[in-house]
Structure 1
Amino acid sequence: MKYKNILITGSAGFIGFHLSKYLLENYNDIQIIGIDNLNNYYNPILKEKRNDILKNYENYNFIKMDFSNWHDLVNNLKNKDIDLIIHLGAQAGVRYSLENPWAYESSNILGTLNIYELARKLNIEKVVYASSSSVYGGNKKIPFSEDDNVDKPVSLYAATKKSNELMAYTYHHLYGIKMTGLRFFTVYGEYGRPDMAYFKFAKKIISNEPIDIYNYGNMERDFTYISDVVDGINSAIKKDFDYEIFNLGNSRPIKLMYFVELIEQYLNKSAEKNFLPMQDGDVLRTYADLSKSRKLLNYSPKVSIEEGLKRFCNWFLENKEWLLKT
């Protein structure tokens, strides 16, 4: 590993946790500084459990802070050795952005600006940052390619992620910082976010509660298992690009009803279904074109939706006593 001192934002989040754990287990000579504000967007018990696992590694140093506070960010990190930033921290969720847009401006716009400015002030060579498939909005061209126009986001969350990409280019152009953006496509798996559909479905099915199915089930998603995303991020760390954006998906859109059937099968329990119209900010289909990622990152997703959901459901059943409280 070229980089020895890595700052990971959102280290107690879903993707940040899995990436940190992977790096700590596979590279003995690295030091990770993880930062997270452990906020209550969803139950902090899950973030704390992830973080407690990471704290077992002696080369993991956690600092609780909000990176949207420039003063705290600089004071905590100005004397740290950092040669790579992996910026995964963000206010997540398309639907919540309709309720609390200010949280997205604070974390995703101001917070990301702070991270890029920190990279400039500390003379950090490279930043790998999280973007999202949501930037494609209601794109009619299938599959979604990095070359597609993404100027019409259909949610504020998507708009903030597009903004992150634009700011990244500016910091690359002005200051020469290498910037690699990764557009994640519906990442799922163990220790995932409880606000996401698969997690909510599992909780409600186990609890004998009805599940909400939007657009009457007529939707498709390019679900990407967490280990495949981690592989993609690891490749982006190793490879040097001046400024690039990559899709990290599975390139196999899954019909929502088949997705529900698999969860029912692996939980061995049928769901009571509440069919509803489409929600504001939602899209009918996501589908990643992986041509560029395969060529330049050697990215090749390996875990099928069937295998990935089976792993998640087995984990959920093993841990359901505390997961039902999240």
Structure 2
Amino acid sequence: MNDRHGVERRGLKRVVVTGAAGFIGSHVVDALLAEGVTVVGVDRRDPGGDPVAAANLAVALGSPDFTFVVADLRTCPLAALFLQADAVFHFAGLPGVRGSWGERFAEYTACNVFATERVLAACEEVRVPRLVYASSSSVYGSILEGASGEKRTPTPESPYAVSKLAGEQLCLAHAGKASSAVTAVALRLFTVYGPRQRPDMLIGRALVAALGGPALNLYGSGDQRRDFTYVGDVVRAAIAAATAGIGSTVLNIGAGVSTSVLDVLAAIEELTGHPVRVNRLSAEAGDVDATLADRSRAGELLGWKPRTALVQGISRQLAHLTANSPQLANA
């Protein structure tokens, strides 16, 4: 899947992170700043008025090496932001399978396809050498047997998954142009969890339910399986993808272990000492039965492998949640 571009491993001095106020993007920002990199963060959420964005960027906003720009990638001028960037981490996007059906699909195409095209065009214009794109394991659909390797034909089962696959293809199309200096690495991320996780995602909702918050809406039987990947491991992969001496490609980033939702709930009950209260609901369209990453190519090309076991990662997410939610900590 590598194209004709061959590049040597590079250091990072100045980078841009889109979606910087989000769950994964803010962790990427923090890690880069810790390595002494100058970071420009771009997000349409303003920490001045959005408490989640403010919390996610609490550390970064105190750094002299961080500049935050409130901007919408669908409309704002981008070329000037990307000038002299060694890499752009494109982690902005509209997430969620269930919300992508129906009328809201127009938002998904605007945020995940049109905005990605604008980011790539700006990278091409100012000759950014590397773009790292946050794709999703949802592009594969349900696995029938074994792990999903990058050569498996994508069979997206939701409009969201279609939009992320379209973003991947735009990355490879721009990188494949004879006049383009940009190389693009699309990371197919498998069910990312950890501190600052979006509140609509399973592990965070289950922890809140166990600590006395609203009951967890459980869609389907709970036998569906996911490859849960800790956010810190994803960040290491993203930075490796920005610096590795490889050409444009698509890589799986997953733990390589598939765990059922019911087993996750059991682990959370053991960690918290409380039952996870559940509202059982019917399975919804687009929710795949199972995901499992074949992560061998990421190991070969990036020298990457996950370090965080699921229970260890959930423990860290629990600690962060209770530290930042006194009402839950005292439940």
State if a TM-score over 0.5 links the two structures.
Answer: yes
Residue 127 of structure 2 contacts residue 181 of structure 2 at CA under 8 Å; is this kept in 1? no
- 1:18 aligns to 2:27 (yes or no): yes
Distance 1:252 1:48 in 2: 33
Note the alpha carbon deviations across 1:111-146, whole angstroms, 9 max, x for none.
000000000111111111111100001242420100
Moved more, 267-276 or 298-307: 267-276
**Which residue of structure 2 lines up, in the alignment, with residue 73 of structure 1?**
77
Change (3 A) 1:322 1:4: farther
Distance 1:219 1:85 in 2: 34
- 1:234 aligns to 2:239 (yes or no): yes
Residue 15 of structure 2 contacts residue 88 of structure 2 at CA under 8 Å; is this kept in 1? yes
Q: Residues 264-279 of structure 1: matches in 2 within 5 Å?
A: 264-279=269-284
- 1:115 aligns to 2:142 (yes or no): no
Change (3 A) 1:112 1:323: farther
- 1:60 aligns to 2:66 (yes or no): yes
Residue 172 of structure 1 contacts residue 242 of structure 1 at CA under 8 Å; is this kept in 2? no
Moved more, 307-316 or 208-217: 208-217
- 1:49 aligns to 2:49 (yes or no): no
Residue 266 of structure 1 contacts residue 314 of structure 1 at CA under 8 Å; is this kept in 2? no
Distance 1:64 1:208 in 2: 32
Residue 128 of structure 2 contacts residue 181 of structure 2 at CA under 8 Å; is this kept in 1? no
- 1:144 aligns to 2:135 (yes or no): no
Shift of 1:298: 1.0
Residue 241 of structure 2 contacts residue 302 of structure 2 at CA under 8 Å; is this kept in 1? yes
Distance 2:279 2:197 in 1: 23
Note the alpha carbon deviations across 1:230-280, whole angstroms, 9 max, x for none.
111121112022211111100011111110111122222112222232111
Moved more, 237-246 or 269-278: 269-278
Change (3 A) 1:116 1:144: same
> Secondary structure of 1:192's partner?
coil
Look up the equivalent residue of 1:110 and give its one-letter code.
F
- For these two proteins, the number of residue pairs brought into alignment is 316
Change (3 A) 1:322 1:208: closer
TM-score in terms of structure 1 length: 0.92
Unaligned runs of 5+ in 2: 1-9
Residue 11 of structure 1 contacts residue 88 of structure 1 at CA under 8 Å; is this kept in 2? yes
Q: Residues 219-258 of structure 1: matches in 2 within 5 Å?
A: 219-258=224-263
Look up the equivalent residue of 1:37 and give its one-letter code.
R
TM-score in terms of structure 2 length: 0.90
Unaligned runs of 5+ in 1: none
Distance 2:176 2:84 in 1: 24
Shift of 1:207: 3.0
> Secondary structure of 2:162's partner?
helix
Look up the equivalent residue of 1:105 and give its one-letter code.
T
- 1:8 aligns to 2:17 (yes or no): yes
Percent identity over the alignment? 27
Residue 212 of structure 2 contacts residue 328 of structure 2 at CA under 8 Å; is this kept in 1? no
Greater length-normalized contact order (CA 8 Å, ≥ 6 residues apart):
2
**Which residue of structure 1 lines up, in the alignment, with residue 204 of structure 2?**
199
Give the root-mean-square deviation of aligned CA atoms: 2.0
Which residue among 35, 43, 53 is the counterpart of 1:36? 43
Residue 194 of structure 1 contacts residue 200 of structure 1 at CA under 8 Å; is this kept in 2? yes
Look up the equivalent residue of 1:4 and give its one-letter code.
K
Note the alpha carbon deviations across 1:170-196, whole angstroms, 9 max, x for none.
101112421111010000001111111
